[in-house]
Structure 1
Amino acid sequence: MGKYLFMGMVLGLSAGLSPGPLLALVISETIRLGIGAGIRVAMAPLISDIPVLIISFVLVSSLSGSDAVLGIISLAGAGLIMKMGISSIRTTGQMPQAPGRASESLMKGVLVNILSPHPYLFWITVGTPLASKAWQIHPGGAVGFVAGFYLLLVGSKLFLAFVVARTRSFLTGGAYVWTMRVLGFLLCCFAWGLAREGVELLGWL
């Protein structure tokens, strides 16, 4: 169970700290309207990801009887995680550009997240297959994976909101860059594991 909790936490932390529309929105709302607005945006995935999770679990469950399909999904997930890992390793530290939407902070965060393809791609190719595998071993592993992912996904964005409210230098400093590089290395290791599993499901090993 601890393995899947750890994987969920690493994936959540990487997703939470990686530059993207939602992170940019957390930063811009914090600077423009204060820490309260940044907190509301950071909490958006807890609302916007509910339909994403439902769709992903239904889709992957319906395909669970086909090793070939699951193998292809695993390889696609490995590619996605490897791309995230390489992107994290190459991070140089910079302020992401904020998307220009006019709305209340929480609703703005929900819209940005639910209209982004990244949550769907992640949960269909990576999150749901890993959670399903953990469930087969022990239900607590699946719960730990999902809980660890969202704890660090939301928690890291809340942390950044508080940091940005005090100073903007963290996102361009060495601590952030090296944190992202370490996370990138771990993601590449996860990608290798997913790729190997996909190859085995396809009967290539």
Structure 2
Amino acid sequence: MIDFLTAGLVLGCSAGFSPGPLLMLVISETLTHGTRSGVRVALSPIITDFPIIAATLLLLMNLSGYHGILGGLSLAGGLFVLYTGYHSLTARPVQLDLPKEPPKSLRKGVLTNLLSPHPYLFWITVGAPLLTRSLKVGPAAFVAFIGSFYLCLVGAKIVLALAVGRSRAFMGSRAYLWIMRLLGALLTFFALLLFREGLKLLGVG
């Protein structure tokens, strides 16, 4: 059984540090309008993700007896995590492109996250299946996963906003690249666990 706290920490840190539309918005808002604006963008997943979580969790709970479908989702989740891990392992210094716009940071963060496919793909293939399993273990496992995931997701983006607010060179530094490589290695291992879980559900492993 995958440790839910560890899974939340690894997946949350990866989502928090990985380059993407929301991270670029955190950086651009920080450099254009200040650290507080970057932090507001970092908080936007707390607003946007929970309807997605509720919908995917409800769907998967209704499919709890269909092991073939759940196994297929676990394999798809493994591929998604492996793809994310590959991009973390091959990360390059981030190039900053700063649009000059009025500071409506939280609104922009919410819209960016809602329009990005990443949260939907993550919760359908990885997050919701893990939450479904955690509910079978108990409330503590559920809270451990979702709490550690959002603590790391939002916390990582806030840390980056603070770091970029002090020095815009941080996103091109060796420290950032080593963080990404470590996360890439952890994600690759986690993808293998998801593959194993999917094969078990399909009756192969």
TM-score range, shorter chain: over 0.9
* Partners of 1:79 and 1:130 in 2: CA distance: 15
Which stretches of structure 1, 4 residues or longer, exceed 4 Å deviation after superposition? 96-103
1:14 and 2:50 equivalent? no
1:193 and 2:193 equivalent? yes
Structure 1 residue matching 2:3: 3-state secondary structure: helix
Shift of 1:179: 0.9
The 1:28–1:183 alpha-carbon spacing in structure 2 relative to 1, beyond 3 Å, is: same
Structure 2 residue matching 1:64: 3-state secondary structure: coil
Shift of 1:101: 7.7
1:45 and 2:16 equivalent? no
Shift of 1:88: 0.3
Aligned to 2:166: 166
RMSD: 1.8
- Name stretches of at least 5 consecutive residues in structure 2 with no aligned partner: none
Shift of 1:90: 0.4
Aligned to 1:106: 106
Cα contact 1:72–1:198 (8 A) shared by 2: yes
Aligned to 1:146: 146
* Partners of 1:173 and 1:150 in 2: CA distance: 25
Shift of 1:172: 0.5
1:82 and 2:82 equivalent? yes
* Superimposed CA distance per residue, residues 51-88 of structure 1 (whole angstroms, 9 cap, x where no aligned partner): 11111111111211100000000000000000000100
* TM-score normalised by L of structure 1: 0.95
* Partners of 1:67 and 1:2 in 2: CA distance: 18
The 1:162–1:90 alpha-carbon spacing in structure 2 relative to 1, beyond 3 Å, is: same
Cα contact 2:77–2:126 (8 A) shared by 1: yes
Cα contact 2:33–2:103 (8 A) shared by 1: no
One-letter amino acid of the counterpart of residue 107, structure 1: R
The 1:49–1:99 alpha-carbon spacing in structure 2 relative to 1, beyond 3 Å, is: farther
* Partners of 1:94 and 1:180 in 2: CA distance: 12
Number of residue pairs matched? 205
The 1:83–1:2 alpha-carbon spacing in structure 2 relative to 1, beyond 3 Å, is: closer
* Partners of 1:63 and 1:109 in 2: CA distance: 32
* Partners of 2:101 and 2:81 in 1: CA distance: 29
Q: Which moved more, 1:98-107 or 1:22-31?
A: 98-107
Shift of 1:28: 0.5
* Partners of 2:125 and 2:99 in 1: CA distance: 26
* Partners of 1:88 and 1:155 in 2: CA distance: 18
The 1:101–1:49 alpha-carbon spacing in structure 2 relative to 1, beyond 3 Å, is: farther
1:157 and 2:157 equivalent? yes
One-letter amino acid of the counterpart of residue 51, structure 1: P
Cα contact 2:57–2:131 (8 A) shared by 1: no
The 1:101–1:8 alpha-carbon spacing in structure 2 relative to 1, beyond 3 Å, is: farther
